[in-house]
Structure 1
Amino acid sequence: MKRHPLNITSEIGTLKTVLLQRPGGEIEYLIPDYLEKLLFDDIPYLPAIQKEHDFFADALKQRGVEVVYLDELAAAAVKDQQIRLEFIEDIVKESCAGNGTAHFQMRDYLEDLSPERLIRQVMNGMLKTAVEGKIQRSLYDRLDETYPFCLDPMPNLYFTRDPAAVIGNGISINKMNRAARQRESLFMHYIMKYHPRFSSSHVPVWYNRDRVHSLEGGDMLVLSKEVVAIGISDRTSRKAIEEIAQSLFSRNRAVQKVVAIEIPKTRAFMHLDTVFTMVDKDKFTIHPAILGPEGKMDIYMIEPENDSGLKVTRRDNLLDVLKEVLQVKDLVLIPCGGGDPIAAAREQWNDGSNTLAIAPGVVVTYDRNYMSNETLRSYGLEVIEVLSSELARGRGGPRCMSMPLYREDL
């Protein structure tokens, strides 16, 4: 019997298949004037960031993980000419909103590209000077002489965690919060709909990218078959959490609880997984700064009520909530930086709490977070360190850079 292509019922089950995206030409289009718009703090060195990403991918492969790449899946999904034209229309519509002239000219240019070149071109972005003479400049372009792009690059694509998230045998194709990232989830829409690996399984979509309220994968943790934790963050709204909870309760009968956890809305605490990840059946990493006095937080337990309602109960103790939903007597919260306030702040900035579990008690981390890594080892975890000097410039760690597609059930 053919195995379903998606299966995520925990954060720590043995990882079998993961989606990555190797940084490419889009990184070369990062320039100081537009770093803030493109959500970067610095400019990575492309050959080095690619070397580090390859090291990360190889570390996973050496542990028996199948690594698949976003650009390759997307190109295979749009091999059919009609599907490719549909994709081009969608990407151009979202890239050239409000500029009809540019819309038609860009569409005509992209239609001449092969599937592989099309996907890379859309990911890389395009400079106006690169297409001079191929695309006639519109009035809009003449009024905005200083802006160099006719198609914005997507330098955040190597953080595959955010545009979509697998829950059970289905997927959430997310409404991204920032304009610079909103087009990213379009690739997953086409992959799930048209790639033969996924399309034949009729994968259920728990949340769609056309929703009003933003939801990002870095805020979504599958704690068990029955429980999903979602961060109320700078990028994920309360309303989106209620909507996906309603969808899961009505269409995925296994999920019985959604735990909404509010975190500070700052750049350093961008998503829930930047401050809190599961590393073993009874262990989590945590950045102590998200805990209030006496460990208090704003936590909301969401459960189904009757046929279509939601029951919401406010809680304030994260440790107690986790023990309850995981049905364990004891549970450990392992502090980033070993709990030292200076080390915790420094290593948190470089995603010291953003671990990728590839099996219970086995995690992938950045090598630069040495105090956090030694703390994890002191709790009995196996820590696989990967290179990180350039990767960390994008403000995301190993969990951010990976979208698990299939894990073994615990």
Structure 2
Amino acid sequence: MTYPGPLNIHSEIGRLESVIVKRPGYEVENLTPDTLKHLLFDDIPYLPAIQREHDEFTDRLRKRGTEVLYLEKLLAEALDDTIVREQFLDQMIRESQSNIQCSSQTLKEYLRSFATEDFVAKVMGGVRKSEIGPDRKTNLYEMMEDHHPFYLDPMPNLYFTRDPSCVIGTGISINTMAEDARKRESVFMDYIIRYHPRFRDTDVPRWYDRSSHFPLEGGDQLILNEQTVAVGVSARTTPQAIEEMARNLFAGNPSFTQVVAVEIPKSRAFMHLDTVFTMVDRDQFSIHPAIHGPGGEMRIYIIRPGMENGKVEIEERTHILDTLKEVLGLSEVGLIECGGGDEIAAAREQWNDGSNTLAISPGVVVTYDRNYVSNQCLREAGIEVIEIPSSELSRGRGGPRCMSMPLVRAEVR
């Protein structure tokens, strides 16, 4: 099937044809107990094992016919031009000022010494103080090795490619990340869309841009069908960002006529909407029961284009099941509860992303093997479950959907 451009996502469940991932690398090795909180990790993965698990994840995708593209390779190809690479370096240094613990010139000279692929790996992986020789250290802070160990902080969350950007229809949302440790990540997709040969001449529309003031992250953005986008109001995504994105989407892509804003508890466990709610088939969803309030009520808002250009109309709803039936035009919708609804199993498996499924075609999902109760519930509901090993991948608090940024899905007929 051919599409009008390099991006085409009109559902969460259409056959996954092309996806961007990031293989965990040197950046994971640069986690330490003292930097875990700052870098948003709860534990330190073992690099060889997490790479094996990630490789099995991508192998499963390829076996189902998905083109797997690597973020690091795409970025290196986008930076093939010397002028673009220097521009990228300047921007990365500028946006890293809060983290850089040495002079900008010292760091620039060091990073310029690498070939492009190694340069990309170094920017992503971080620069340790011990890497730069004493002859390059020009001030007191640079010479004091007992301070923060990095001149440039690593970005270990990069293997969760879902959050910095999200394809919606034939356009893209380049997101403003909420946490300082992740703000630089969306620079990479910005450059890939602007300068990679696959995208640069296609005039890809942007529904949101990382220059916006308000945080918006891809784990909160779910494309339910060609008319409907659901977005979580979470610890990482604000109502202001959702409304801004909705206005841009309605103005630039008339097929989308409604954005459903779903408020979820703002906690580490419930980081994004897709950690508690994902679409697994045309009329079935995985869900963590704890997102419901008393009596099963929630705060849900349907945003639609207003009568005046650039304006929107907003209506409130209180029940997720009824809202899904309404916006999807379905008489019945199935909610498959994480952990089978058991209080202990649900909490345990949701912590390990039991609800964070990646649909690769209608009724076929990739999940972590460790969530065996939730996986059995999915199977009993008629869903084909492809399990992947997850002892190390799960340490980053993200599942298969978090680790994937779809570029193209087949239309659902």
TM-score (norm 2): 0.97
- The answer to whether the 8 Å contact 1:282/1:331 transfers is yes
Paired residue secondary structure (2:318): strand
Q: Paired residue for 1:128?
A: 129
Q: Paired residue for 2:303?
A: 302
Q: 1:32 to 1:371 in 2, by over 3 A?
A: same
- Distance in 1 (CA, whole Å) between partners of 2:100 and 2:322 is 53
- Distance in 2 (CA, whole Å) between partners of 1:173 and 1:2 is 21
- The answer to whether the 8 Å contact 1:99/1:140 transfers is no
- The answer to whether the 8 Å contact 2:99/2:152 transfers is no
Q: Deviations over 1:341-396 (max 9, x none)?
A: 11000000000000000000000000000000000000000000000000000000
Q: Paired residue for 2:97?
A: 96
Paired amino acid for 1:302:
I
Residue 269 in structure 1 maps to residue 270 in structure 2: yes
- The answer to whether the 8 Å contact 1:170/1:203 transfers is yes
Farther-moved stretch of structure 1 (124-133 vs 266-275): 124-133
Question: How do residues 142-153 of structure 1 correspond to structure 2 at under 5 angstroms?
Answer: 145-153=146-154
Residue 62 of structure 1, CA deviation: 0.5
Q: Deviations over 1:104-128 (max 9, x none)?
A: 2212222222111110000110101
Structure 1: runs of 5+ lacking an equivalent: none
Paired amino acid for 2:117:
E
Residue 370 in structure 1 maps to residue 363 in structure 2: no
Q: 1:95 to 1:382 in 2, by over 3 A?
A: same
Farther-moved stretch of structure 1 (167-176 vs 289-298): 289-298
Residue 144 of structure 1, CA deviation: 8.4
Of all paired residues, the percent bearing the same amino acid is 56
Paired residue secondary structure (1:84): helix
- The answer to whether the 8 Å contact 1:109/1:134 transfers is no
Paired amino acid for 1:381:
I
Q: Deviations over 1:84-142 (max 9, x none)?
A: 00000001111124979611221222222211111000011010111123632434446
Paired amino acid for 1:94:
E
Question: How do residues 183-202 of structure 1 correspond to structure 2 at under 5 angstroms?
Answer: 183-202=184-203
Q: Deviations over 1:207-243 (max 9, x none)?
A: 1111110000000000111110000000001110011
Q: Paired residue for 1:230?
A: 231
Task: Report the number of matched residues.
Answer: 410
Q: Paired residue for 1:318?
A: 320
- The answer to whether the 8 Å contact 2:360/2:366 transfers is yes
Paired amino acid for 1:272:
L
Q: 1:292 to 1:96 in 2, by over 3 A?
A: same
TM-score (norm 1): 0.97
- Distance in 1 (CA, whole Å) between partners of 2:102 and 2:288 is 49
Question: How do residues 20-169 of structure 1 correspond to structure 2 at under 5 angstroms?
Answer: 20-97=21-98, 102-133=103-134, 135-141=136-142, 145-169=146-170
Q: Deviations over 1:161-214 (max 9, x none)?
A: 000000001100000000000000000000000000011211111111111100
Q: CA RMSD in A?
A: 1.5
Paired amino acid for 1:373:
N
Q: Deviations over 1:320-351 (max 9, x none)?
A: 11001110100011000011111000000000
Paired amino acid for 1:80:
D
Q: Paired residue for 2:335?
A: 333
- The answer to whether the 8 Å contact 2:61/2:68 transfers is yes
